[in-house]
Amino acid sequence: MKILFTTIFEYPHAGGLSTHISTLKKGLEERGHQVDVLSFSDFNPVKRKVYAQAPGFFLNIIHKGKGQVLNDQRRKNLLVTYLKERKQHYDVINSQDIFATMASIECGLPTVSTVHGYYSFEAISRGSIQEHSDEDQYIQKQEKIAYKVATDVVSVDRRISNYIKKLSNREVTIVKNFIDIEDFNPARQRYSDIKTEYSIPEHHKILFVPRRLTEKNGVKYPLLALNQVLAVHPDTTLVYAGEGEQLANLKKLSMSEGVADHIKLLGAVPHEKMKYLFEVADIVLVPSVHSHGVEEATSISALEAMGSGSPVIAGAVGGLKEIISHETDGILVEEKNVNALAQWINHLLAQPQKGKQLAQNARKKIEREYSHHFAAKKFESIYKNAVTSYKV
């Protein structure tokens, strides 16, 4: 089959959406399919800036949120222009956001819409629009339309599936997130210079937070727990890999908590380097929280950690509760509970064998349930059904 992934966002970028696309693309190509990606990055840079970025930027200064909606609409229009010229080259579109779904439908193409989260709620969580605003209502309306008109809809966990059903009365196929199990494999990772590259003290214990620095990811809570950890394990460094609107807040907190010397904010880290940071991590932290109705899905970061031989401590929210069995293949802690988080970190640092056993069990689960091979086979079946039902 000839498959096109579409999104109004940039690709590649640092984040789970980009990882999902790249990993599924690899799995489908290994099964003999042609897979292309069309994203905002593929359009003329001048047109991107003048048509789909600058107008919204200035409009947001006048009315926060209106610029966000305007830019999303204009990005969709750019997708429509390309798809009308190229649609004969593809059998099926797999859109990765609601505006990309609308673009595909407008061009008359069979469209599988993959839903990674709650579009309006996440825009509120990151501060792009105001809750209960006209923009919020507009985006929710677009969500409802997109889910209704797509040929098929795929969600990455059960909560999102239930949300889609409630919003649009649409049946949904669930395909949980997945990883490249060959790429994230503890038996293969041996890059001993990664600590030197990122100026991490060689003898320090590493707490690794591989998260975009946004509110729903709960990134401030490991920092707030760090003093309790340092009191027991003083040679410890907390490492963040990611960017986002919480960066300034983390810097401020590290100063007020007096732990700035034990924090590394690496910014965006290339995906190929992430596996080596997982390798040296003593514990990976995925401290997600509820934020404006948003919950973590089946976190790709958590899956990568589970596949990489590192023990995981995660917030007991959303899809994380679906992928981690507490004290069997990871640890779940109550969201925002700084004391519980610190206690579990200290416990695993003091008992590395327990962490090792959790990591070994997690790797077995990943191989069994979260392989990109399995996901590619499932999506292949979904695409074929979409093409058949669309033609009928």
Q: Note the pLDDT tens digit of each residue in 21-50.
A: 999 999 999 999 999 999 999 999 999 999
- At residue 186, the pLDDT reads 73
C-alpha–C-alpha distance, residues 53 and 8, integer Å: 12
The per-residue pLDDT for 21 is: 96
**Per-residue pLDDT at 292:** 64
pLDDT band, residue 392 (cuts 50/70/90): low
Query: Per-residue confidence at 175, pLDDT binned at 50, 70, 90?
Result: very high
Mean pLDDT of 174-198: 82
State residue 391's pLDDT score. 65
Average pLDDT, the chain: 92
Domain 2-178+371-391 belongs to what architecture?
3-Layer(aba) Sandwich (3.40)
More confident residue, 184 or 307: 307
pLDDT for 191 equals 67
pLDDT band at 118 (very low <50, low <70, confident <90, very high): confident
Within a 13 Å sphere around the CA of 240, how many CA atoms are in the beta-carbon half?
26
Q: Are 176 and 156 in contact (CB under 8 A)?
A: yes
Average pLDDT over residues 356-381: 94
**Number of other CB atoms surrounding residue 62 within 10 Å:** 8
pLDDT at site 190: 65
Residue 272 has pLDDT above 90, yes or no: no
C-alpha span between 104 and 95 (Å, rounded): 8
Tens of pLDDT along 71-98?
999 999 999 999 999 989 999 999 999 9
Average pLDDT over residues 236-256: 95
Mind listing the pLDDT tens digit for each residue in 334-364? Answer: 999 999 999 999 999 999 999 999 999 999 9
The mean per-residue pLDDT over the stretch 181-208 comes to 84
- Condensed to tens digits (0 to 9), the pLDDT of residues 125-160 reads 777 888 889 999 999 999 999 999 999 999 988 888
Q: Give pLDDT, residue 188.
A: 63
pLDDT at 193: 86
Burial (CB count within 10 angstroms: exposed 0-12, middle 13-18, buried 19+), residue 31: middle
Give the mean pLDDT of 113-118.
92
The pLDDT value given to residue 126: 75
In the chain, CATH 3.40.50.2000 covers 2-178+371-391, 194-369
What's the whole-model pTM score? 0.77
What are the two backbone dihedrals, phi and then psi, of residue 229, each rounded to the nearest 5 degrees? Answer: -70, -45
Report the pLDDT averaged over residues 226-242: 97
**How far is the C-alpha of 381 from the C-alpha of 232, rounded, in Å?**
52
Q: Name the fold adopted by 194-369.
A: Rossmann fold (3.40.50)
- C-alpha span between 9 and 75 (Å, rounded): 8
In three-state secondary structure terms, 270 is coil
pLDDT attached to residue 189:
58
Q: Which residue has the higher pLDDT, 181 or 172?
A: 172
Q: In this structure, what token pair is assigned to residue 78?
A: 């750019």
